[in-house]
Amino acid sequence: MTATSATSAASTASTASSPAGLGTARLASPDLFRSVFRRHAAGVAVITASGDGGPVGFTATSLSSVSAEPPLVSFGIGTGASSWPTVSRAEHIGVHILGEHQRELAATFARSGADRFGAPTSWHEGPHGVPVLDDVLAWLVCRVHARVPAGDHRLVLAEVLFGDPTGAGRPLLYHQGRFTALRD
């Protein structure tokens, strides 16, 4: 049996064994999970931190507001991510909401091995030494409140300390595996 036919057979078996009334429902798997979340449009953020090795950052679509009192945000980061060792120790992190004009910036921070803080990335040191990206729609500097184990990731909860919501433009979105913009 080839890999393709094995995958097809496994998919058929998963679908065929679905409880009555669930149509083409499949058993949970990493592939099913990724397929479903490709259909979920999400805002694009870049998370930054500073450590002994210099600034680190990564593109995140898991950013969420958690609480207004106190102001808390959350995001997920894989424990195998190159930024994780620094984020795992950082007391403060930066959260940057990207605009539709920043597709290349989002791609740079998503690309493994990229020089994320080299040209053409424009940034400065913000409060608590956190790298703050320039020309974003909004940014926050937060104090890490907790790192919660969640499978192969950690859910980071952070309390907002400073921010600037005055950037111009419309938000960048991630949908169907690519960066995109809102349509009117």
CB-based contacts of 50, cutoff 8 Å, min separation 6: 56, 86, 90, 125, 129, 130, 131
Q: What is the pLDDT of residues 21-71, one digit of tens each?
A: 677 888 888 888 888 888 888 999 999 999 999 999 999 999 999 999 999
- Sign of the dihedral defined by the CA atoms of residues 102, 145, 129, 51, in that order: negative
What domains can you pick out in the chain, each with its CATH number?
Answer: 1-39 (no CATH), 41-181 (2.30.110.10)
Q: What is the pLDDT of residues 59-95, one digit of tens each?
A: 999 999 999 999 999 999 999 999 999 999 999 999 9
Mean pLDDT of the chain: 89
Asked whether the beta carbons of 41 and 176 are under 8 A apart, the reply is: no
Q: Global pTM?
A: 0.84
Q: Where are the beta strands (DSSP E) in 15-70?
A: 42-43, 45-51, 54-60, 64-68
Asked whether the beta carbons of 117 and 49 are under 8 A apart, the reply is: no
Q: What tokens appear for 142 in the block?
A: 């937060």
